[in-house]
Amino acid sequence: MRLPILTGAAVLGLAAFASGPAIAADALTVVSWGGAFTKSQLEAYHKPYTAKYGTKIQSEDYNGGLAEVRAQVETGKITWDVVDVEVSEGVRGCDEGLFEPIDTSSLLPAPDGTPAVDDFIPGSVIECAVATIVWSTVFAYDADVMTGAKPTTLKDFFDVKKFPGKRGLRKTPVVNMEWALIADGVARDDVYDVLSTKAGQDRAFKKLDSIKDHVLWWEAGAQPPQMLADGEVLMTSAYNGRIFNAQATENKNFNIVWDNQLFAFDYYAIVKGTKRKDEALRYLQFATATEQLAAQASWISYGPTRKSSAGMVGKHAISGVDMKPHMPTDPKNFKTALLNNSDFWADNQDELNERFNAWLAK
């Protein structure tokens, strides 16, 4: 999940919110990705929820995956209540019995009375999780450093002759496999059909071979903007909100290339067996209400998942920048977007993770 490092007072504020009384036994533990993304949840969800219901929120960070959730459920030693997950983890976690099923009729209606199930955009509500944001993986560069020709397409990212220098990529096959095929000439509509074949996977790895010696791998979402700021890479894949936050709050002259952005949803799921299930469900209902999703979009450039939230998206809470043009779903940004195929990754991620890690070790 996705954003730059909080510094100074912002870090102290976040720490204060998640310490002291907030870690009492009756606190609700909500796990997410850290940085400005968690900051947006704190401001839009955690603080208003505590103000309304009195329940403290303990915020914890992780780097994704199901290993920690699985260990808690299998041992019965559950310390997490609500977890922010990517779609493939939401699907797999539900299949494995790691998350509680969500009754969609329990979700709050839109302000005009439209039932939630009709207000959420397609794909944003699944059996055991409810999406809060539309986010995307893009690539970006520092315009203060790249003063000559600028990359404008995904193929430029893979062109080390035209744009010599290090690239940053997330240490996972997700996105990298899709981008490799697109850069190699596969049409977006055909990417997952091709990737479902052994020949297609071979083709993706062959294309990744062409830049492997030029890649620095990242794992946490805070790393890409820092890598750009430190001059470690010429360009890097990143979560769009991480780059926006560096632009809006740190005055970085980073440019996003939206060509072939891979977009997805992030979901809230409730850990199976939590003793605070009722409280966790109330929090999830609150956080996924129209007003709260729109409020989050004033802190970070991720799109809300409810139709009724769109008209409420305004300016950035700190910089005052109009947020609408920075959303992944803005028409100018969305022309060549590809939706992450959750079914494909739920079925194939373990196998491709194994092959990807073996490829990295060569």
- Write the Ramachandran bin of 112: left for phi over 0, alpha for psi from -120 to 50, otherwise beta: alpha
Cα–Cα distance, 121 to 103 (Å, whole number): 17
Q: Domain 8-134+265-326, what fold?
A: D-Maltodextrin-Binding Protein; domain 2 (3.40.190)
Tokens of 244: 């926006």
Contact call for residues 206 and 212 (beta carbons, < 8 A): no
For 267-282, the pLDDT digits (tens) are 999 999 999 999 999 9
Contact call for residues 306 and 132 (beta carbons, < 8 A): no
pLDDT band at 19 (very low <50, low <70, confident <90, very high): very low
The answer on pLDDT for 196 being more than 60 is yes
pLDDT band at 25 (very low <50, low <70, confident <90, very high): low
Please give the C-alpha separations between residue 90 and each of 54, 127, 139, 142, in angstroms, as whole numbers.
Answer: 28, 9, 25, 34
Cα–Cα distance, 224 to 231 (Å, whole number): 11
Q: Which residues of 139-148 are buried (b: 16+ CB within 10 A; e: fewer)?
A: bbbbeeebee
From 3.40.50.2300, 3.30.360.10, 3.40.190.10, 3.30.70.2860, which CATH number describes the 135-264+334-361 domain?
3.40.190.10
pLDDT at residue 16 in the model? 33
Q: What is the DSSP pairing of strand 82-86 with strand 129-142?
A: unpaired
pLDDT at residue 50 in the model? 98
Cα–Cα distance, 202 to 181 (Å, whole number): 10
- Do 135-264+334-361 and 8-134+265-326 have the same topology in CATH? yes
- Compute the average pLDDT of residues 196-200: 98
The answer on pLDDT for 242 being more than 70 is yes
pLDDT band at 346 (very low <50, low <70, confident <90, very high): confident
pLDDT band at 13 (very low <50, low <70, confident <90, very high): very low
Per-residue DSSP letter, 221: T
Domain boundaries defined on the chain: 8-134+265-326, 135-264+334-361
pLDDT at residue 35 in the model? 87
For 51-81, the pLDDT digits (tens) are 999 999 999 999 899 999 999 999 999 999 9
pTM given for the model: 0.78
C-alpha neighbours within 13 Å on the C-beta side of residue 264? 21
For 203-225, the pLDDT digits (tens) are 999 999 999 999 999 999 999 99
The answer on pLDDT for 24 being more than 80 is no
pLDDT band at 27 (very low <50, low <70, confident <90, very high): very high
Which range is least confidently modeled, 3-7, 95-99, 237-241, 342-346? 3-7
For 150-177, the pLDDT digits (tens) are 999 999 999 999 999 999 999 999 999 9
Close Cβ partners of 245 (under 8 Å, ≥ 6 residues apart) = 3, 4, 35, 36, 225, 300, 301
The answer on pLDDT for 139 being more than 70 is yes
Per-residue DSSP letter, 122: T
- Return the axis-axis angle of helices 342-361 and 198-209, rounded to nearest 10°: 50
The answer on pLDDT for 17 being more than 60 is no
Cα–Cα distance, 31 to 81 (Å, whole number): 8
- Compute the average pLDDT of residues 263-268: 95
Question: Considering the chain, what percentage of its residues have pLDDT values greater than 90?
Answer: 85
Cα–Cα distance, 32 to 241 (Å, whole number): 14
Which range is least confidently modeled, 1-10, 30-39, 46-55, 184-193? 1-10
Cα–Cα distance, 169 to 236 (Å, whole number): 6
Please report, as a single letter, which amino acid is at residue 91: V
pLDDT at residue 20 in the model? 36
The answer on pLDDT for 7 being more than 80 is no
The answer on pLDDT for 288 being more than 70 is yes
Which range is least confidently modeled, 22-26, 41-45, 188-192, 317-321? 22-26
Cα–Cα distance, 358 to 351 (Å, whole number): 11
The residue behind tokens 């002259």 is: 253
- Compute the average pLDDT of residues 26-49: 95
pLDDT band at 311 (very low <50, low <70, confident <90, very high): confident
Mean confidence (pLDDT) of the chain: 91
pLDDT at residue 88 in the model? 86
Helix (H, G, I), strand (E, B) or coil at 178: helix
The answer on pLDDT for 22 being more than 50 is no
